[in-house]
Amino acid sequence: MTVICPPLFSEYMRTQHALRELAIVLAAEGQHVLRFDYRGTGDSSGDLEEVAISDWLEDIQLAIREGRDVSGCTMVQLLGVRAGALLACRSAGACAEIEKLVLWDPVQGGTEYIENLRHVQAEILERNRYLSRAERREAMLEYGGHHLSERMLKEFHSLDARAYSSVPKQKLHVVSTSQAAAFPVEGVSRDVAQFSCEWETPTEDQMLPQPVLERLTACLTLT
């Protein structure tokens, strides 16, 4: 069984169609696949400003349990995308039932991810020079177009490379869209898919990165 841990914010919107297509392909291969939204995001209940990282880690555990109960599978593999990769590894740790974790362009850590959101926010402001002074002042407090609570920010900063190193490296497989992108744990299996995702671009336009989906499918169906 595969549980898909999606990315966050605009990256969630950009990959929604691609992850749906991937789930369909995996299901056609005979797998049970579970897609879900973290609390306060997508179609899930809750307000983003009232949830925290700890809630999202619980959501992943709940998705794993639900998937196992419905499918009857004893072994589980996780797909984590961008910040979802960091959350998946932090949640999974050394859990014996997690057979494999496939990570698509995993972020380096929570601090780096927050800095990336600030870069995205700066570009949003640059593109929207018509904003009033009050609107600009309010927008400067956002992260990639979203208001994040102090608790959320604090917990993001506490997430670092230890989330990845807590997982046995033989269970990890990274699919990267950049040859230059480094993964903080040495000796982890890695594929490079030729596709420019442009994660730091402030857009919610859908993308369908076929080379990436092919590599992800291969990794998630390899026995």
Q: pLDDT per residue over 55-71, tens digit each?
A: 999 999 999 999 999 99
User: What 8-state DSSP symbol labels residue 156?
Assistant: H
Domains and CATH numbers, the chain: 2-108+160-221 (3.40.50.1820)
Q: What is the pTM of this model?
A: 0.94
pLDDT digits (tens, 9 = 90+) for 134-179: 888 888 888 998 899 999 999 999 999 999 999 999 999 999 999 8
Cα of 102 vs its chain's centroid, Å: 11
- 152-165 in b/e form (b: 16+ CB < 10 A) is bbebbeebbeebbe
152: left (phi over 0), alpha (psi -120 to 50) or beta: alpha
User: What 8-state DSSP symbol labels residue 153?
Assistant: H
Contacts of 176 (CB under 8 A, 6+ apart): 105, 183, 190, 191, 192, 193
